[in-house]
Amino acid sequence: MSRSGNKKPVGFATHIAAGGIAGACEALACQPLDTIKVRMQLSRSGRAPGTKARGFLATGAMIVRRETPLALYKGLGAVLSGIVPKMAIRFASFETYKGWLADKSTGKTSTVGIFVAGLGAGTTEAVAVVTPMEVVKIRLQAQMHSLADPLETPRYRNAGHAVYTIVREEGVGTLYRGVSLTALRQATNQGANFTAYQEIKKFAHRMQPGLEELPSYQHMIIGLISGAMGPFSNAPIDTIKTRLQKSPATPGASAFERIAAIARAMWREEGFASFYKGITPRVLRVAPGQAIVFAVYERVSGIIERIQPRIREDDGYSE
C-alpha cells in the first residue's frame, strides 16, 4: 500500500513479494489457532442438555494429547501453497479497485470507496484461491489421527494427496464447495479490514505530522485492531462454511439447500451459540495474523520501493 498520496502505486511484483512473505509469516505463526478453530466448529460437543461445548484451551489440549503438538499444523501445506497468490491477489486487487474508485481530480479514495474496494478484493481472492485452499485445509485439519503412530494412516496424507483424492472421488467442483459463503466471508473480512486499517493509519499520521513513515509496531497495532473487525461480523458464515466444506455432497441437493440444512440442524441441535463456535481462536488467529501481515507487508514493500530506484540508477534509467 502506498504510504502517501504523492507516491506511485507499487507494482504487481512488489505485491507478490511483500504479500507472499507477509502471508507465510502469518501462516507459520497462526496455524495452530486455525486448527483449533476448525475442530471447534466441527465439534458436536455441548448438544446434550446440561453440557457445555468444549472450549478453546480444552480443544487445543485434546489435540496435543491425542495427536501430538505437530497436529496443530495440519493443513499448513495447503495454506503455504496458496498464501502467495492469495496475498498477491488481495493487495493487488485492492489497490486496483481503490484506484478505479478514486476521485479523478484529487486521486484520493473515499472511505466508502475503500470499503467497496475491500469487498471486491475479498471476493476476488475467495473465488481465485481461498475456496479450494480452504476445502483442502479443512479436510486435513478434520483428520483426528496421531502423527506419532506410523500405523495410523490418515485418509489424506498431505495437501497434494488431498487434492488428488478429492478430485478423483468427488469431482473438481468439490474444491469450490462453499464458494458463495467463502466469498461473503472474505468480502466482509477485507471490507472491514482495509477500511479500518486505512482510516486508523490516516489518524495516526495526523497525530504524528512529523513522521513520514509509521514505525512497524504501529502498523502491527493498527493491523491487530482492523483484523478483529471481520471475525465478529461474520462468525456464523464461517462456521456454516466449515461444516459445508468438510461434509460430502448430498445427492440432488443444491448449495443453498445444503447451507439451509446445516444452519437448521445447528439451530435445532446445538442452539444459537453454535454459530459462534471457534470465535475465540479465530479472533486470536486473525487479529494477530493481520498485525503480522500489514507490518511485514509495509516493511517489505518499503524496502523494495527503496531498492528499485537504486537499481534503475545503476542501469542508467534513473527517473
User: What is the per-residue burial (b if ≥16 Cβ within 10 Å, else e) of 120-148?
Assistant: bbbbbbbbbbbbbbbbbbbbbbbbeeeee
- Side chain identity at 35, as an amino acid letter? T
Q: What is the mean pLDDT of the chain?
A: 87
Q: What's the longest Cα–Cα distance across the chain?
A: 75
Rounded to whole angstroms, the Cα distance separating 150 from 72 reads: 17
Higher per-residue pLDDT: 207 or 147: 207
Q: What confidence category does residue 151 fall into, taking pLDDT thresholds of 50, 70 and 90?
A: low
**pLDDT reading at 253 higher than 90:** no
CB 40 within 8 A of CB 278: yes
For residue 46, what pLDDT is reported?
A: 73
* pLDDT of the residue at 160: 93
Give the residue-averaged pLDDT of 171-191: 94
Per-residue pLDDT band at 170 (split at 50, 70, 90): very high
Helix (H, G, I), strand (E, B) or coil at 46: coil
The answer to whether residue 5 scores a pLDDT higher than 70 is no
Mean pLDDT of 284-305: 89
Mean pLDDT confidence for 152-159 = 87
CB 228 within 8 A of CB 291: no
Is the pLDDT reported for residue 311 higher than 60? no
Asked if 223 and 295 touch (Cβ cutoff 8 Å), the reply is yes
The number of beta carbons lying within 10 Å of the beta carbon of residue 116 is 20
Residues with Cβ < 8 Å from 88, sequence gap 6 or more?
Answer: 12, 15, 16, 19, 20
Among 47-51, 68-72, 165-169, the least confident range: 47-51
Least confident among 86-95, 101-110, 262-271, 303-312: 303-312
Question: Which cell goes with 12?
Answer: 504487481
Phi-psi region of 278 (alpha: psi -120 to 50; beta: other; left: phi over 0): left
At CA 181, angle to CA 117 and CA 60, rounded to 5? 105
How far apart CA 309 and CA 319 sit, in angstroms, is 8
The proportion of the chain whose per-residue pLDDT surpasses 90, expressed as a percent, equals: 60
Picking from 75-89, 119-133, 160-174, which range would have the lowest pLDDT averaged per residue? 75-89
Q: Residue 90 belongs to what H/E stretch?
A: helix 76-100
Residue 3 has pLDDT above 70, yes or no: no
203/188 Cα distance (integer angstroms): 22
Dihedral of CA atoms 254, 257, 262, 265 in degrees, nearest 10, equals -140
CA distance 307 to 241: 42
Whether residue 272 has pLDDT greater than 80? yes
Give the list of residues 6+ apart from residue 209 with CB closer than 8 angstroms, or none: none
So what's the pLDDT on residue 125? Answer: 96
Q: Give the Cβ contact number of residue 237 at 10 Å.
A: 21
Q: Which residues contact 285 (CB under 8 A, 6 or more apart)?
A: 30, 33, 34, 37
Q: Taking 80 as the threshold, does the pLDDT of residue 185 lie above it?
A: yes
Q: What is the rounded average pLDDT of the residues 132-152?
A: 84
For the record, the C-alpha cell of 99 comes out as 484506484
Q: What pLDDT does 51 receive?
A: 72
Q: Model confidence at 309, in pLDDT bands (50, 70, 90)? A: low
